[in-house]
Amino acid sequence: MELLEVKNLSKNYKSFDLKDISFTLPKGYIMGYVGANGSGKTTTLNLITGILKCTEGQVYIDGISREEDIAAYREKIGYVGDESYFPDNFKISHIRKTWKAFYPTFSEEKFDGFIRNWNLPLNKQIKDFSRGMKVMLMFASVFARETKLLVLDEATNGLDPMMRTEILRLLQEYVMDGEHSVIFSTHILSDLEQIADYIYFIHQGRTVLYDVKDELIDSFLLVKGESAKIPTALRQELIGLEEHAYGFEAVLPSDKAEMLGNAFLCEKPTIDQIVIHYIMSAGNQARAK
């Protein structure tokens, strides 16, 4: 069953349009939502959480839209961004008290457990926390609630490798029961290589790619070799062709593999490489106009 349904989501600004974003995320899965800065990732996530109102489209979480029942909709969402949303003058005790009053499912016991395990300071104001401490505090606050969907916007920024590994483990545990899901926007695409089930790639407010992660990776080849050996027909099919003094690198749809012959080195790309070459391709096309 789908936990998150996004249908033809659009948001119009004077200088930017998010247009017709549609996808579904089943229960028990993690989606990586990727793209360059300014591509529309944060706008999409803010529309899902209800921070922004869409120009067109609809979002359903566990079958409920924000318009149908705003309280139930909000209760299903846990959100962590790259900036702390706690008041600077708060201490952990203030957050515990406020969250307990505001969220019916908030567990003080779970919250305190995360605080102890992560050694977060009880007597400091939030303004005196490091960036990593603020991020971990946000995660403690959402993991202490009975949410259905975690919406993460660059949420692992500022974490050291050990803490990032801990968070990735907790995200996998969160979806393990088949009743919860995560949509995760991040520039640390190696994190998504580890835990994502689906990848949604957006560029300049438009959908580029959307697929199961493993199938997406299998649908491309990373191609390297000598630029002088690229036939004209192949050059037209290569995505994000990057040429330098030592040769070239690009990605190619796997169904075009017969065009390569034996002149080039091929390997399976990472999500990072696919995204980078698609962004390069868009830039090359814009410069050619």
Positions of the chain with pLDDT lower than 70, given as ranges: 283-289
Give the pLDDT confidence score for residue 286 in this predicted structure: 47
> Where are the alpha helices (H) located in 157-251, listed in sequence order?
161-175, 189-195, 213-218, 232-237
Quick check: 186 and 152 in contact, CB under 8 A? yes
Give the pLDDT confidence score for residue 263 in this predicted structure: 86
The amino acid that residue 66 corresponds to is: R
Which parts of the chain are beta strand (E)? 2-12, 17-26, 30-34, 56-61, 64-65, 77-80, 149-153, 181-185, 198-203, 206-212, 220-225, 239-244, 247-253, 265-267
Say which residues have a Cβ less than 8 Å from residue 135's Cβ, sequence separation at least 6: 80, 82, 84, 155, 156, 157, 158, 159
Q: What pTM did the predictor assign?
A: 0.93
What letters, b where the CB count within 10 A reaches 16 and e where it falls short, cover 223-248? bebeeeebeeebeeebbbbbeeeebb
Q: Whose structure tokens read 């190619």?
A: 252
Closest by Cα among 232, 240, 188, 192 to 214: 192
Give the pLDDT confidence score for residue 285 in this predicted structure: 61
H or E stretch covering 71: helix 70-75
What letters, b where the CB count within 10 A reaches 16 and e where it falls short, cover 269-284? bebebbbbbbbbbbee
pLDDT in tens, 148-206: 999 999 998 878 899 999 999 999 999 999 999 999 999 888 899 999 999 999 999 99
Determine phi and psi for 203, rounding to 5 degrees. -145, 125
CB hemisphere CA count around 201 (13 angstroms): 19
Q: Whose structure tokens read 């990593």?
A: 132
Closest by Cα among 263, 251, 191 to 217: 251
